[in-house]
Amino acid sequence: MTLVQSISPPRRLVRAIMHRTRGRTNGPVTRLMSPSDLGEILKPFVFLDLFDHEGAPFNGPLHPHSGIATLTYVAEGAVNYIDPDDTRGTLQAGGVEWMQAGRGMWHGGGLDKAGRTRGFQLWIALPPALELGPTISIYHPPGDVQSDGPAHVLLGSYGSASSAIASPSPINYLTVRLKAGERWRYEPPTGHTVLWTAIASGVLSAPEKLRHGDLAAFEPSSKGPIPSSFSARPLRTSMISSSAITRSTRRRTRCARARRIFPRSRSASFKRAACKHLRGAGHQPGPFDRESRYTVDVS
């Protein structure tokens, strides 16, 4: 008689949720992450805002940034924008705006039409080499955002899809839409130890139940990537992000005069607006003149 030893395949581990939050809401914006809370453990991510506005159109004021990058994703509705070169346009649902502020830049935006507009704005700390680097503005319409299955790639890559935006650090940032009962599995790349998800609408099992407005940070992986499994009931939009933790420095970038900060700006209206802002602020560093530097790698 011959005995054959049978070896069961190893059980596939799934990351557990370590922290979850519903953030703090102020008007149509809910701040799900900031450096004083989850941003401290989810570096290099600085802020994550969920915006959900339903009402009259409006124009947001011009405002400055420096030393950081922001990625704005429109899940529903449309937003307009204006950048330092006086370029204006409208970003439709499914579109992406990438702003890499570097040494400093101004931008603005708002809503052209009444109705509901929802989406996310993610703030990412730049590595020291880019904190005072050139400014970059990129606008991708929905058709330019590549996808693999239910996942659309906003930064980094997933499966056969990748983003045309050059990420400042190793980050995967995806928006995922699942049908009721649909299952989807995400396996972070090697080296990505940070993983989080935020829910724009619907209910997600990961495996804990997450609902509209929730942000969940998964346990870090120190022994390589651990996959996470998601299922929906129904889920319209979920943001999934992973990264590798990197170090960053805190730097003070002083805003002296608009002519010095934005010497290459071709828009006279932006220079006038910048000078007006600085005169009104009495040349004191404001929240956008001196921003904390944090880094987070997502995967």
pLDDT at residue 282, rounded to an integer: 37
Domains of the chain: 21-246+266-282+293-298 (2.60.120.10)
- Rounded CA separation 293/255 (Å): 16
CB crowding 170-191: b at 16 or more within 10 Å, else e:
bbbbbbbbbeeebebebebeee
Instruction: State pLDDT tens for residues 35-74.
Output: 888 877 888 888 999 999 898 888 877 888 888 999 999 9
Mean pLDDT of 25-34: 92
Mean pLDDT of 280-285: 37
Instruction: State pLDDT tens for residues 4-17.
Output: 343 444 445 677 88
pLDDT at residue 246, rounded to an integer: 41
Residue 285's Cα: distance from chain center in Å?
Answer: 25
Instruction: State pLDDT tens for residues 199-235.
Output: 988 888 887 889 989 999 988 875 544 555 555 544 4
pLDDT at residue 285, rounded to an integer: 33
Strand partners, 92: 78
Q: Which residue has the tokens 């990058």?
A: 69
